[in-house]
Structures are given as C-alpha cells and as structure tokens.
Amino acid sequence: MPPGGLKPPVSWIGLRPLLLRLHFYAGIVIGPFLLVAAVTGLLYTATPQIEAVVYRHELEVAPQGDPEPLSAQVAAARTAVPEGTLFSVTPATGRTDSTRVVFDKPGLPDNYTQTAFVNPYTSEVLGQERTFAGWWLPVRAWVDGLHRHLNLGEPGRVYSEIAASWLWVEILGGLALWLTAPRARKGLRRVLVPQGGAKGRRRTMSWHAVVGLWASVGLLGLSVTGMTWSVHAGASIGEIQSALAGPGPAISTSLPGSAAEKKPGTGSGAANDVGIDAVVASAHAAGLRGVLNVSPPGEEQAAYVVEENTCSWPERHDTVAVDPTTGKVTDRTNWADYPLLAKMTSWGIDAHMGLLFGLANQIVLALLALALIGMILWGYRMWWLRRPTRADGFALGRAPARGAWRRLPGRFLAPAVLLTAVIGYYVPLFGLPLLAFLVIDLVIGVRRRRIERTEVSA
C-alpha cells in the first residue's frame, strides 16, 4: 500500500502479481543488455577527460599574441591533407584551443572525416585524426560505438534499443511494486532509505528498490532519449514529434540570381570569394558566438553556412547563410524559433551525452550508470537467494506465481492489452520481446499442466 495506508483499487490486487512476474522475467532476460549499456555508458562519461590527455598535443596550444588569419590556417591544413575536400572549419574558440579543419577523404568509412588540428598563432599543423561525425575523436568514437552498437555496426544497435525500450518498463514497474508494498505503510523512511540488518533477500531488495527510486527520473530520461536515436523506435518518435511540433526552421543556402564562377577543384566557393575570415566576421556581426562550425559552398549549397555548436547550457544553435561573393548574411535560423518539443529533444540528447552541464552532467551520468549496475546485480542476487536450498544439484530461483492475469476484470484487462499493443507497435523492441515472453510462458505453462495431469493419472 502507498504511504498513508490508502487501500489500492481492486484491479491492483490482481495486477500486482502479474507486474511482479513481468518485472522478474524482464529483469533476468533484459538485465544483461542493461548491464552492458550501463558499463559502456559509465566509460563514455569519462571520454572528455581521456581525450584531453590523449590528444593534448592536437587540442591545446600556448597563446602567442594574435592569431593568424583563419584562411592561412585552412591553407596549411589543405597542404597537410592534399587529397581531401574541405568539409568544415571550427575556429579556435578559446585562447588555448586549436583550430579544426575537417576534410572529406577517399577511403574513409561512412560518417568519418579527416581532421587537421592547426595552431591558430603559427598555422602549424599539430596533427591529424580520423573523426566521427566531423567531431568525435577516435577514443570517444570507439567508446560511443561500443555503447551504441558494441562496435558491430547497424546489427549491434539492436542491443542498445532493447535496453532503452525496456529500461522505462522496469523502472516504472519497480516503482509501482515498491510504493505499493506492505512495508510502505510503515513510513516514508522504509521507502526512501535502504534498510540495514542481516544479509539476505530483504536487505538486498531494499537497496535494489531504494536506489531505483532515487535514480528513477534520470534513468527514465536516459531511456527516452536513448530511444530517440534508435533504429525502430526512433523513427516512430520522429514521426510523432513532427506531427505534434511541425518541422523546425530550415536555412536556405540558395543565392539570389546566378552564383559567380567557382574556383575549379577547391570547393571553396566563387572565384571572387570574400574568404573565410570575412564570413566568420559576418557571422560574429550577426550575433553568433561560442563554438562555430563553418561549412563552405559546395555542390549542394551556394552559400557558406555558419552554425553555432555550443551544446552546454544555455545552448546556442543559431545558423546563418553567408553569400561568398559579398560576405552578407542571406538567411538565418534562430534557436529561439525552434518548437519547444524539438528543443526538449535536443536538451535531452545533449544531457544524455554529458554535454549540457559540463562536468556536473558527467558526474550525474556516472552516478546513474553506477546505480543501474548496482540495481541489476542486486536483482540477480535476489534471484539467487530465491533458489531452493534443499534441491539436489543446481537450482535457479523460483519465479513469481503464474496465472495472475485471470484475476483481472475485463474492464481493466482489455484497455491494458490495447495500450500495450499500441506501445509495442511504436516501440517494436519492447513489443517483440514481450510477445516472446508471453509465448514462452504459455508453452511452459501448458507443458507443466500436462506433466501434472500425467502424474495425477499415474
């Protein structure tokens, strides 16, 4: 019962055993997926600090007066990567930051680019690294791939989507079971504080449930944001988001009239290109600040595009298009004009990646990962403690009693089944494993009843 001794509705009396059985089986089967996601996620939280050490030579410079023109830095990078096509430039943001010049290069895997790191004060190329999505350095790209798909490519994404699709189910189910447990009548302390005492299943359950209670909001957030970029559920979430919020503002890179003649082979714009320094100056004059990402004109865009890429709070994601022949801003999109749902999605994803609040964000993510690891291990310990101690040979823990759904009234069961089916349709890696659970459980139940009838008749 919940604190205060309120009597639960009649339907909950039948639902609780059913939920307990689902929570038990899902915890056992989905637990390994969640454990891998938590361990790899914990490793991911430390990648900014690992990068700062491993790539210090490329990332940090000593201030030496005034920086050289950005065009000189890009020219030095072009010399270092002669076979590359200029993709984007990120000017040094702080006094000790290097400039990143990113190139498309033949022979690289999909979504990978070659990045040259340039000292803005000397135009010296400090080094080159293969980067993922134009930004992630090799260490973070490898850990990110390990967390998302075990570095197995698209097939491996099934694991992370299963984990994200079931984490919210386990959290909400566990909260419902814990907050309506008989011990909840004995005061909030038993609900909010892990109980001590002798080692055993009761103390283990207390730690499992209380840690889950405190971590529930953060873990639910990770589950939802994890599903937004999953293969199957992500597509459904994107469709729902577009239907509710509508499309966000899009930058136009077309120019009035006919564009001037391009320089052959450079991909850097028109023959009378004003240059990247003037483009960045125009972006600054338009109010863009923080981390800037400059994309040159190319086959698919006539203008330079300058995007703010400041993911820490407050986020800055304004974008301007700049005419390469005049240096004037021709179009603009403002972060303030994005639909609230799109902003919330961006905030959630950046928080999931540890970017939104810097070090504090990383610490919270690490604590959530440790909490999830602890909950999973405590859950398996409870399963072990449920095993028959007098059984001959190896025995597993007993599952909660079956057949609880028969005690649910039809007026409750029918809409519950319908809602579950709808969720399973939009989140298929929740729906398909659930269907598999039900089929396997049904087969086991039929088999056991046949064995029992055979034994009785014998």
Q: Give the per-residue pLDDT at 394.
A: 55
Q: Give the per-residue pLDDT at 196.
A: 72
The residue type found at 215 is A
Check: CB of residue 347 under 8 Å from CB of residue 357: no
Q: Give the per-residue pLDDT at 399.
A: 64
Q: Give the per-residue pLDDT at 1.
A: 46
pLDDT in tens, 23-37: 998 999 999 999 999
Q: Say what the pTM is.
A: 0.88
Q: Give the per-residue pLDDT at 257.
A: 63
pLDDT in tens, 306-359: 999 999 988 999 999 999 999 999 999 999 999 888 899 889 999 999 999 999
| Residue among 305, 298, 300 at smallest CA distance from 263 | 298
Check: CB of residue 149 under 8 Å from CB of residue 36: no
Q: Give the per-residue pLDDT at 198.
A: 66
Query: What is the Cα–Cα distance from 424 to 233, expressed in whole angstroms?
Result: 10
Which residues, 6 or more positions from 68, have their beta carbon under 8 angstroms from its beta carbon? 120, 121, 122, 123
Residues (pLDDT < 70) of the chain are: 1-13, 184-185, 197-198, 245-247, 257-271, 388-405, 455-458
Q: Give the per-residue pLDDT at 247.
A: 67
Q: Give the per-residue pLDDT at 386.
A: 80
| Residue among 282, 300, 301, 36 at smallest CA distance from 292 | 282
Helices 10-45 and 359-385: crossing angle in degrees, nearest 10, is 130
| Residue among 292, 152, 161 at smallest CA distance from 236 | 161
